[in-house]
Protein backbone atom coordinates (compact mmCIF):
# COMPACT_ATOMS: atom_id res chain seq x y z
CA UNK A 1 0.00 0.00 0.00
CA UNK A 2 1.26 3.49 -0.80
CA UNK A 3 2.21 5.74 2.10
CA UNK A 4 0.58 9.04 3.04
CA UNK A 5 0.89 11.73 0.39
CA UNK A 6 1.19 14.33 3.16
CA UNK A 7 4.48 12.69 4.12
CA UNK A 8 5.48 12.68 0.45
CA UNK A 9 4.91 16.44 0.22
CA UNK A 10 7.37 16.91 3.08
CA UNK A 11 9.96 14.85 1.22
CA UNK A 12 9.32 16.81 -1.98
CA UNK A 13 9.69 20.10 -0.15
CA UNK A 14 6.55 21.31 -1.88
CA UNK A 15 2.99 21.75 -0.54
CA UNK A 16 0.28 21.31 -3.16
CA UNK A 17 -2.51 23.84 -3.35
CA UNK A 18 -4.51 21.17 -5.19
CA UNK A 19 -3.64 17.78 -3.62
CA UNK A 20 -5.66 15.98 -6.31
CA UNK A 21 -2.86 16.78 -8.77
CA UNK A 22 -0.32 14.91 -6.68
CA UNK A 23 -2.72 12.02 -6.20
CA UNK A 24 -3.14 11.71 -9.96
CA UNK A 25 0.59 12.11 -10.56
CA UNK A 26 1.41 8.99 -8.52
CA UNK A 27 -1.39 6.90 -10.04
CA UNK A 28 -0.33 4.31 -12.62
CA UNK A 29 -2.75 3.24 -15.33
CA UNK A 30 -2.87 -0.29 -13.87
CA UNK A 31 -4.43 1.08 -10.67
CA UNK A 32 -6.85 3.33 -12.54
CA UNK A 33 -8.22 0.56 -14.76
CA UNK A 34 -8.81 -1.66 -11.73
CA UNK A 35 -10.98 1.03 -10.15
CA UNK A 36 -13.41 1.68 -13.02
CA UNK A 37 -16.01 -0.43 -14.77
CA UNK A 38 -15.02 -2.51 -17.76
CA UNK A 39 -14.93 -0.34 -20.86
CA UNK A 40 -14.73 2.94 -18.93
CA UNK A 41 -11.44 3.92 -20.50
CA UNK A 42 -12.11 7.65 -20.44
CA UNK A 43 -12.78 7.59 -16.71
CA UNK A 44 -9.60 5.58 -16.13
CA UNK A 45 -7.58 8.09 -18.14
CA UNK A 46 -8.88 10.89 -15.92
CA UNK A 47 -7.43 9.09 -12.89
CA UNK A 48 -4.02 8.00 -14.16
CA UNK A 49 -0.87 10.04 -14.64
CA UNK A 50 0.07 9.72 -18.33
CA UNK A 51 -1.16 13.19 -19.32
CA UNK A 52 0.77 14.78 -16.45
CA UNK A 53 3.80 12.73 -17.47
CA UNK A 54 3.52 14.17 -20.99
CA UNK A 55 3.66 17.72 -19.67
CA UNK A 56 6.26 16.94 -17.00
CA UNK A 57 8.60 15.59 -19.65
CA UNK A 58 8.65 18.98 -21.38
CA UNK A 59 8.95 20.94 -18.13
CA UNK A 60 11.85 18.75 -17.03
CA UNK A 61 13.57 19.17 -20.38
CA UNK A 62 13.29 22.96 -20.24
CA UNK A 63 14.44 23.16 -16.61
CA UNK A 64 17.45 20.94 -17.28
CA UNK A 65 18.36 22.81 -20.47
CA UNK A 66 18.13 26.17 -18.69
CA UNK A 67 20.26 25.03 -15.76
CA UNK A 68 22.90 23.46 -18.01
CA UNK A 69 23.12 26.64 -20.07
CA UNK A 70 23.60 28.71 -16.91
CA UNK A 71 26.24 26.33 -15.55
CA UNK A 72 28.09 25.92 -18.87
CA UNK A 73 27.56 29.16 -20.85
CA UNK A 74 30.54 28.45 -23.13
CA UNK A 75 29.60 24.84 -23.92
CA UNK A 76 28.69 23.90 -27.49
CA UNK A 77 25.17 22.86 -28.44
CA UNK A 78 26.43 19.31 -28.91
CA UNK A 79 27.93 19.20 -25.40
CA UNK A 80 24.77 20.64 -23.85
CA UNK A 81 22.67 18.12 -25.75
CA UNK A 82 24.83 15.25 -24.56
CA UNK A 83 24.55 16.32 -20.92
CA UNK A 84 20.81 16.91 -21.21
CA UNK A 85 20.18 13.49 -22.75
CA UNK A 86 21.99 11.90 -19.85
CA UNK A 87 20.12 13.86 -17.17
CA UNK A 88 16.63 13.25 -18.56
CA UNK A 89 17.21 9.58 -19.39
CA UNK A 90 15.07 6.84 -17.88
CA UNK A 91 18.07 5.56 -15.96
CA UNK A 92 18.79 8.95 -14.35
CA UNK A 93 15.12 9.69 -13.63
CA UNK A 94 14.80 6.34 -11.87
CA UNK A 95 17.98 7.05 -9.92
CA UNK A 96 16.88 10.44 -8.61
CA UNK A 97 13.36 9.15 -7.91
CA UNK A 98 14.86 6.88 -5.28
CA UNK A 99 16.16 9.95 -3.43
CA UNK A 100 12.55 10.88 -2.67
CA UNK A 101 11.40 7.25 -2.13
CA UNK A 102 8.94 7.70 -4.98
CA UNK A 103 8.16 4.00 -5.29
CA UNK A 104 6.68 3.96 -1.77
CA UNK A 105 4.04 6.50 -2.78
CA UNK A 106 2.98 5.18 -6.19
CA UNK A 107 -0.49 3.73 -6.72
CA UNK A 108 -0.16 0.63 -8.88
CA UNK A 109 -2.49 -2.22 -9.77
CA UNK A 110 -2.33 -5.67 -8.22
CA UNK A 111 -0.43 -7.10 -11.19
CA UNK A 112 2.23 -4.41 -11.05
CA UNK A 113 2.46 -4.81 -7.29
CA UNK A 114 3.16 -8.52 -7.64
CA UNK A 115 5.81 -8.01 -10.32
CA UNK A 116 7.71 -5.30 -8.45
CA UNK A 117 6.24 -2.31 -10.26
CA UNK A 118 7.35 0.09 -7.54
CA UNK A 119 10.97 -0.72 -8.36
CA UNK A 120 10.73 -0.70 -12.18
CA UNK A 121 12.89 2.03 -13.68
CA UNK A 122 10.44 2.90 -16.44
CA UNK A 123 7.52 3.32 -14.01
CA UNK A 124 9.61 5.38 -11.59
CA UNK A 125 10.82 7.64 -14.42
CA UNK A 126 7.32 8.17 -15.80
CA UNK A 127 5.88 8.90 -12.35
CA UNK A 128 8.59 11.41 -11.54
CA UNK A 129 7.84 13.29 -14.76
CA UNK A 130 4.15 13.26 -13.76
CA UNK A 131 5.01 14.76 -10.35
CA UNK A 132 6.97 17.52 -12.09
CA UNK A 133 3.97 18.13 -14.35
CA UNK A 134 1.68 18.27 -11.32
CA UNK A 135 3.85 20.92 -9.64
CA UNK A 136 3.82 22.91 -12.89
CA UNK A 137 0.01 22.89 -13.06
CA UNK A 138 -0.28 23.63 -9.34
CA UNK A 139 2.02 26.66 -9.23
CA UNK A 140 3.70 27.26 -12.57
CA UNK A 141 7.13 26.85 -14.10
CA UNK A 142 9.27 28.59 -11.46
CA UNK A 143 8.35 26.25 -8.56
CA UNK A 144 8.64 23.26 -10.91
CA UNK A 145 12.11 24.41 -11.98
CA UNK A 146 13.11 24.92 -8.34
CA UNK A 147 12.03 21.36 -7.54
CA UNK A 148 14.05 19.96 -10.45
CA UNK A 149 17.12 21.94 -9.38
CA UNK A 150 16.85 20.66 -5.80
CA UNK A 151 16.32 17.09 -6.90
CA UNK A 152 19.12 17.17 -9.46
CA UNK A 153 21.56 19.25 -7.40
CA UNK A 154 24.22 16.54 -7.22
CA UNK A 155 23.77 15.53 -10.87
CA UNK A 156 24.07 19.15 -12.04
CA UNK A 157 27.30 19.58 -10.06
CA UNK A 158 28.76 16.44 -11.62
CA UNK A 159 27.57 17.03 -15.18
CA UNK A 160 30.28 17.93 -17.67
CA UNK A 161 30.65 17.06 -21.36
CA UNK A 162 33.54 14.73 -20.50
CA UNK A 163 31.70 12.99 -17.67
CA UNK A 164 28.49 12.50 -19.65
CA UNK A 165 28.02 9.18 -21.39
CA UNK A 166 27.93 9.01 -25.17
CA UNK A 167 24.72 8.37 -27.11
CA UNK A 168 25.56 4.71 -27.75
CA UNK A 169 25.97 3.96 -24.06
CA UNK A 170 22.88 5.96 -23.20
CA UNK A 171 20.84 4.05 -25.78
CA UNK A 172 22.05 0.75 -24.37
CA UNK A 173 21.11 1.85 -20.84
CA UNK A 174 17.68 3.01 -22.01
CA UNK A 175 16.96 -0.30 -23.73
CA UNK A 176 18.18 -2.26 -20.73
CA UNK A 177 15.80 -0.28 -18.52
CA UNK A 178 12.99 -1.54 -20.77
CA UNK A 179 14.42 -5.08 -20.55
CA UNK A 180 15.44 -5.06 -24.20
CA UNK A 181 18.69 -6.30 -25.70
CA UNK A 182 21.49 -3.93 -26.69
CA UNK A 183 21.29 -2.51 -30.23
CA UNK A 184 23.44 -3.64 -33.14
CA UNK A 185 25.10 -1.28 -35.62
CA UNK A 186 25.54 -2.10 -39.31
CA UNK A 187 27.24 -0.09 -42.04
CA UNK A 188 24.62 0.19 -44.81
CA UNK A 189 26.43 2.37 -47.32
CA UNK A 190 29.71 4.20 -47.92
CA UNK A 191 29.87 7.22 -50.22
CA UNK A 192 32.47 9.67 -51.46
CA UNK A 193 36.22 9.67 -52.11
CA UNK A 194 38.62 8.57 -49.36
CA UNK A 195 39.23 12.13 -48.14
CA UNK A 196 35.48 12.93 -47.98
CA UNK A 197 34.02 9.60 -46.97
CA UNK A 198 30.42 9.47 -45.71
CA UNK A 199 29.08 6.45 -43.81
CA UNK A 200 25.45 5.42 -43.42
CA UNK A 201 24.96 3.24 -40.34
CA UNK A 202 21.78 1.57 -39.14
CA UNK A 203 21.11 1.01 -35.43
CA UNK A 204 18.75 -1.92 -34.90
CA UNK A 205 17.01 -3.06 -31.72
CA UNK A 206 14.08 -5.32 -30.96
CA UNK A 207 11.34 -2.81 -31.66
CA UNK A 208 12.83 -0.57 -34.31
CA UNK A 209 15.71 0.85 -36.33
CA UNK A 210 17.11 4.24 -37.36
CA UNK A 211 19.90 5.39 -39.66
CA UNK A 212 22.53 8.08 -39.20
CA UNK A 213 25.29 9.56 -41.35
CA UNK A 214 28.77 10.65 -40.37
CA UNK A 215 32.29 11.23 -41.62
CA UNK A 216 33.45 8.11 -39.74
CA UNK A 217 31.76 4.87 -38.73
CA UNK A 218 31.86 5.90 -35.07
CA UNK A 219 30.32 9.29 -35.83
CA UNK A 220 27.54 7.67 -37.89
CA UNK A 221 26.87 5.18 -35.07
CA UNK A 222 26.68 8.04 -32.58
CA UNK A 223 24.17 9.92 -34.71
CA UNK A 224 22.08 6.79 -35.21
CA UNK A 225 22.05 6.20 -31.45
CA UNK A 226 20.98 9.82 -30.88
CA UNK A 227 18.08 9.41 -33.33
CA UNK A 228 17.12 6.12 -31.70
CA UNK A 229 16.85 7.85 -28.33
CA UNK A 230 14.58 10.46 -29.87
CA UNK A 231 12.35 7.78 -31.40
CA UNK A 232 12.12 5.87 -28.12
CA UNK A 233 11.21 9.09 -26.33
CA UNK A 234 8.40 9.73 -28.81
CA UNK A 235 7.17 6.17 -28.43
CA UNK A 236 7.53 5.47 -32.16
CA UNK A 237 10.60 3.24 -32.40
CA UNK A 238 9.33 1.45 -35.48
CA UNK A 239 9.92 4.43 -37.77
CA UNK A 240 13.21 4.33 -39.71
CA UNK A 241 14.61 7.81 -40.19
CA UNK A 242 17.33 8.68 -42.68
CA UNK A 243 19.41 11.49 -41.28
CA UNK A 244 20.70 14.21 -43.60
CA UNK A 245 24.19 15.70 -43.48
CA UNK A 246 23.46 19.25 -42.41
CA UNK A 247 26.39 20.93 -40.68
CA UNK A 248 24.39 21.52 -37.49
CA UNK A 249 23.81 17.81 -36.92
CA UNK A 250 27.35 16.88 -38.02
CA UNK A 251 28.63 19.13 -35.28
CA UNK A 252 26.53 17.28 -32.71
CA UNK A 253 27.87 13.96 -33.95
CA UNK A 254 31.47 15.05 -33.93
CA UNK A 255 31.03 16.42 -30.41
CA UNK A 256 29.53 13.11 -29.31
CA UNK A 257 32.48 11.24 -30.88
CA UNK A 258 34.97 13.43 -29.03
CA UNK A 259 33.24 12.79 -25.70
CA UNK A 260 33.01 9.09 -26.42
CA UNK A 261 36.76 8.79 -27.01
CA UNK A 262 37.30 9.94 -23.41
CA UNK A 263 34.57 7.79 -21.87
CA UNK A 264 34.81 4.12 -20.98
CA UNK A 265 32.47 2.20 -23.27
CA UNK A 266 29.86 -0.08 -21.74
Q: Is 191 a catalytic residue?
A: no
Phi, psi of 17 (to 5 degrees): -75, -35
Catalytic-role residue among 112, 121, 129, 173: 129
Work out the burial of residue 88: count CB atoms within 10 Å of its CB; fewer than 13 is exposed, 13-18 middle, 19 or more buried.
buried
Rounded CA separation 192/113 (Å): 55
Catalytic-role residue among 53, 57, 112, 202: 57
Q: Is 129 a catalytic residue?
A: yes
The full 3-state SS of the chain, as one line of letters, equals CCCCHHHHHHHHCCCCCCHHHHHHHCECHHHHHHHCCCCCHHHHHHHCCHHHHHHHHHHHHHHHHHHHHHHCCCCCHHHHHHHHHHHCCHHHHHHHHCCCCHHHHCECCHHHHHCCHHHCHHHHHHHHHHHHHHHHHHHCHHHHHHHHHHHCHHHHHHCCCCCCCCHHHHHHHHHHHCCCCCCEEEEEEEECCHHHCEEEEEEEECCEEEEEEECCHHHHHHHHHHHHHHHHHHCCCCCCCECCCCHHHHHHHHHHHHHHHCCCCC
Catalytic residue positions, numbered: 57, 129
Amino acid sequence: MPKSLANFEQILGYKFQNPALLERAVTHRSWAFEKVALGAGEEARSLQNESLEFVGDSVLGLAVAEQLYNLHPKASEGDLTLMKHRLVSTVMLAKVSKIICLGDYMRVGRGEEKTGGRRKEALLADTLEAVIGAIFFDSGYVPARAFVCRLYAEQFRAATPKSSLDYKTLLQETLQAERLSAPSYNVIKTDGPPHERQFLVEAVWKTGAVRGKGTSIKAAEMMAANLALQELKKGKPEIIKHHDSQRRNKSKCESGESSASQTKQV
